[in-house]
């Protein structure tokens, strides 16, 4: 990290740690939309980004955009403790295994897919969040670096996700994981991949105990109310979504990517679905949760009404986002403990 980036990180960390009353003063008039009030620390962060004229990833060439996404995530992720980290390649796919402090074999394990619109993100962009999940849930986390657009279009990422999960099932013992306590999870595009893997696991009768779906993409061509309400100004923009759709998804109606329209197989794993109040993807994530519930499946939906898309990466700054991700880790811990019984 450069000196400038270190200074920017210090400024972000300091600003996000200010007392809430000070943040409210600096952020300006409260943002109230759809009966929800944006968290003052998030409003202040967005205001500072606008003042700094920070470009959106969708406005940059892909190499620059990927660097920006990773750099921003590292700045906001902080230094999260972890017992051990190991990078390796399996089935032709780069992976990173996080082992929580004091783990004794075998432990539960989450197979995780990062977000980024199927175009951006990496093992590094979600390193801090994976560390926090592993430590707080007491589970190993296997992070998967699947192929992305524009170099690799649909269904490349989805194929990699299934391949990685099958490999994890076959090699659970060597990873120190309990094959009876495996979960899949991810955020945004990664949540879409996790949901797809869960569907494929049920169809193939592969063991899977739990799904952790964080503001997942579930309907590529959605025209929901939340997509209109939060199309601009809340980090994830309509332009970003349009670019992702054009770049990766050849057929938005394909149920492999628009999982909201997929047939639900028997034996689908229980799910926890988290959404953010100020997120264009909010309504489709909640619609998928209702679809699972209407089919009689075990699902818990939790909306964090004062947060935005990508709060999952803000685990090293502020108070609201780290608390929300810790809460998710608790749900993961509980879900995998239930799978043990």
Instruction: Give the up-direction half-sphere exposure of residue 255: CA atoms within 13 A in the CB hemisphere.
Output: 9
Query: Residue 201: enclosing H or E segment and its boundaries?
Result: helix 189-204
DSSP 5-48: HHHHHHHHHHHHTS-HHHHHHHH-S--EETTEE--HHHHHHHHH
Residue 263 CB coordination number (10 Å): 8
Query: Residue 85: enclosing H or E segment and its boundaries?
Result: strand 84-90
Angle (CA) 186 123 106, round 5° = 70
Catalytic residues: 188, 279, 309
334 forms beta bridges with none
Q: Are 47 and 15 in contact (CB under 8 A)?
A: no
Give the three-state DSSP class for 332.
helix
Cα of 138 vs its chain's centroid, Å: 19
b/e map 14-50, b = 16+ CB within 10 Å: ebbebeeeebbeebeeebeeeebebbbbbbbbbebee
Q: Name the E strands within 188-316.
A: 210-214, 271-278, 299-308
Packing angle between helix 127-137 and helix 62-77, nearest 10 degrees? 40
Contacts 24+ apart (CB under 8 A), 241-246: 241/117, 241/280, 243/58, 243/117, 243/119, 244/117, 244/118, 244/119, 244/149, 244/189, 245/220, 245/221
């Amino acid at each position: 990290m450069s000196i400038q980036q270190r200074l920017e990180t210090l400024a972000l960390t300091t600003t996000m740690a200010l007392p809430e009353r000070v943040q409210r003063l600096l952020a300006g008039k409260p943002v109230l939309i759809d009966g929800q009030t944006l968290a003052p620390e998030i409003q202040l962060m967005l205001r500072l980004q606008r003042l700094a004229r920070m470009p959106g990833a969708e406005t940059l060439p892909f190499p620059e955009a990927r660097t920006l996404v990773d750099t921003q995530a590292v700045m906001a992720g902080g230094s999260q403790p972890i017992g051990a980290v190991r990078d390796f390649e399996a089935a032709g796919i780069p992976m990173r295994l996080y082992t929580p402090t004091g783990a004794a074999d075998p432990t539960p394990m989450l197979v995780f897919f990062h977000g980024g619109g199927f175009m951006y993100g990496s093992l590094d962009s979600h390193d801090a969040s994976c560390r926090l999940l592993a430590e707080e849930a007491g589970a190993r986390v296997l992070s998967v670096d699947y192929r992305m657009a524009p170099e690799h279009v649909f269904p490349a990422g989805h194929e990699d996700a299934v391949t990685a999960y099958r490999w994890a099932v076959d090699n659970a013992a060597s990873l120190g994981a309990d094959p009876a306590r495996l979960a899949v999870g991810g955020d945004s595009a990664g949540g879409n991949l996790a949901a797809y893997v869960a569907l494929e696991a049920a169809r193939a009768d592969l063991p899977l105990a739990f799904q952790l779906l964080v503001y997942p993409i579930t309907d590529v061509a959605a025209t929901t109310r939340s997509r209109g309400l939060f199309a601009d100004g809340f980090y994830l923009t309509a332009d970003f979504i349009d670019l992702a759709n054009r770049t990766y998804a050849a057929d938005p109606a394909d149920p492999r990517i628009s999982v909201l329209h997929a047939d639900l197989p028997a034996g689908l794993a229980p799910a926890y679905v988290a959404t953010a109040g100020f997120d264009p993807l909010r309504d489709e994530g909640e619609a998928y949760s209702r679809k699972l519930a209407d089919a009689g499946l075990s699902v818990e939906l939790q909306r964090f009404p004062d947060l935005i898309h990508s709060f999952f990466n803000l685990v090293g700054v502020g108070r609201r986002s780290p608390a929300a991700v810790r809460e998710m880790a608790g749900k993961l811990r509980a879900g995998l403990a239930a799978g043990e019984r």
